[in-house]
């Protein structure tokens, strides 16, 4: 059986290409960048490489050059969003066997793979149109009318789904977020629906201007499939007086402006993901809350998850035989309705596991705690160093 190596940093693209390769009766392997592809090819025989042109770590042109430099004549089909004649001409000079322009349709991929590998004609598989990686000119069916999909715990888990027709947007985001966050790209509304039925996501980012796609309608449909996700709009800076209000009116939980601001992207995705260790960090006897940069709707999801993580962290600190907890809430936004309540909750939990509590925070936080008898007497400091003296 012929083996095809799929090299693309987008897991969603790799999934779609793999499905078509396997539909042709071929074996498929994956690599998320050129460097990993070369390592794999050094150890395994590969009959065809489907190579993305633009990737972090090591892109398509460099990977192709190294493949040829090692004396390998393995056929290569390049995936590219670049349609300039000069670029395509340079690719052909680099001894590729064919290229496919993004966005592409599954039948085009199958045809070119079959041609390069000289496969015997065979019946073409029936493919769900929603899987096409091409502009969605027509709206997809509501989830209730579409094909069945895996539900509940059987679905694979991912962190972020980015729905944007521009691959560079995804790659820029990928470069700004922690490596531990898994990300998928869907370049059309139809592809987004397909991927959403195959795995669950914590965060879904939807561009407001995808050619041939009604982003508001797409948002509504995705919410029927991914009810627990946080939905953020990707939009340009249009001078709105209240962008948060405008996005909430459309049904989004919040927004990210393009071009991106690195700090805001990192903070918002960390908070929206909500279930990870990024919410709070334990270091010796210090329990530190991570910065929050979300919206009111995100805060309502954030607090219960933070409470669960605090409970777990305090139990671990008690098991490690610490006798005190320095609760560093410097990054927690002072809110008159939430700050005292959170501190009281932590006070109750520390008492249950036999720990004493010290609080570190901003001057505004101290003023809020002084308003209540139960929190006014808790030892308060403006730095961890001061709390340890």
Contact 381, 362 (CB under 8 A): no
What separation in angstroms does the CA of 3 have from each of 118, 125, 134, 260? 13, 19, 26, 39
Give the model's pLDDT for residue 204. Answer: 94
Beta strands 280-283 and 286-289 are antiparallel
Give the model's pLDDT for residue 122. Answer: 54
Give the model's pLDDT for residue 153. Answer: 42
In terms of C-beta density within 10 A (0-12 exposed, 13-18 middle, 19 or more buried), how is residue 117 classed? middle
Choose the weakest-confidence range: 67-81, 124-138, 162-176, 287-301. 124-138
Give the model's pLDDT for residue 130. Answer: 37
Give the model's pLDDT for residue 271. Answer: 55
More confident residue, 130 or 92: 92
Q: Check whether 96 has a pLDDT greater than 50.
A: yes
Tokens of residue 89, six digits: 């001409």
Mean predicted confidence (pLDDT) in 73-83:
84
Give the model's pLDDT for residue 278. Answer: 55
* Tens of pLDDT, residues 176-213: 876 667 888 999 998 999 888 888 888 899 999 888 88
pLDDT band for position 236 (cuts 50, 70, 90): confident
Give the model's pLDDT for residue 128. Answer: 40
- Euclidean distance between CA atoms 161 and 219, whole angstroms: 12
Give the model's pLDDT for residue 151. Answer: 42
Domains of the chain listed by start with CATH number = 3-121 (3.40.50.2300), 154-273 (3.40.50.2300), 277-388 (3.30.750.24)
Sorted by sequence, the CB contacts under 8 Å of residue 299 that are 6+ apart come out as 292, 338
Choose the weakest-confidence range: 12-21, 74-83, 115-124, 256-265. 115-124
Mean predicted confidence (pLDDT) in 101-117:
87
- Euclidean distance between CA atoms 164 and 209, whole angstroms: 8
Q: Tell me what the pLDDT averaged over the chain comes to.
A: 80
Q: Check whether 53 has a pLDDT greater than 50.
A: yes
Mean predicted confidence (pLDDT) in 350-355:
91
* Tens of pLDDT, residues 291-350: 654 444 456 666 777 888 888 889 888 888 888 999 999 888 788 878 899 999 999 999
Sorted by sequence, the CB contacts under 8 Å of residue 266 that are 6+ apart come out as 176, 177, 178
């Amino acid at each position: 059986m012929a083996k095809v190596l799929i090299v693309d940093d987008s897991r969603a693209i790799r999934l779609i290409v793999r499905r078509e390769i396997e539909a042709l009766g071929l074996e498929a392997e994956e690599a998320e960048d050129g460097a990993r592809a070369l390592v794999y090819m050094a150890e395994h025989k590969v009959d065809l490489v489907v190579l993305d042109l633009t990737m972090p770590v090591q892109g398509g042109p460099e990977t192709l050059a190294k493949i040829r430099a090692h004396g390998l004549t393995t056929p290569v089909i390049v995936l590219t969003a670049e349609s300039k004649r000069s670029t395509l001409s340079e690719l052909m000079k680099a001894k590729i066997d064919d290229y496919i322009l993004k966005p592409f349709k599954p039948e085009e991929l199958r045809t070119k793979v079959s041609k390069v590998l000289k496969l015997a004609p065979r019946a073409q598989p029936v493919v769900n149109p929603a899987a096409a990686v091409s502009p969605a000119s027509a709206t997809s069916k509501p989830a209730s009318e579409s094909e069945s999909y895996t539900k509940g715990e059987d679905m694979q888990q991912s962190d972020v789904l980015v729905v944007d027709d521009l691959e560079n947007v995804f790659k820029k985001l990928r470069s700004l977020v922690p490596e531990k966050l898994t990300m998928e790209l869907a370049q059309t509304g139809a592809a987004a629906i397909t991927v959403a039925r195959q795995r669950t996501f914590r965060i879904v980012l939807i561009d407001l201007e995808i050619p041939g796609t009604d982003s508001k309608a797409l948002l509504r449909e995705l919410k029927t499939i991914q009810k627990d996700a946080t939905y953020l709009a990707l939009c340009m800076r249009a001078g709105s007086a209240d962008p948060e209000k405008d996005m909430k009116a459309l049904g989004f939980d919040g927004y990210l402006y393009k071009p991106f601001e690195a700090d805001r992207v990192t903070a918002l995705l960390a908070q929206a993901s909500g279930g990870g260790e990024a919410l709070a960090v334990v270091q010796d006897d210090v329990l530190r809350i991570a910065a929050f940069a979300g919206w009111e709707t995100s805060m309502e999801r954030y607090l219960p998850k933070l409470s669960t993580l605090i409970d777990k962290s305090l139990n671990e600190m008690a098991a490690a035989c610490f006798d005190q907890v320095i609760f560093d809430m410097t990054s927690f936004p002072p809110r008159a309705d939430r700050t005292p309540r959170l501190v009281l909750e932590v006070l109750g939990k520390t008492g249950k596991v036999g720990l004493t509590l010290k609080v570190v925070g901003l001057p505004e936080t101290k003023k809020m705690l002084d308003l209540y008898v139960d929190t006014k007497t808790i030892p308060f400091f403006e730095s961890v160093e001061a709390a340890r003296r």
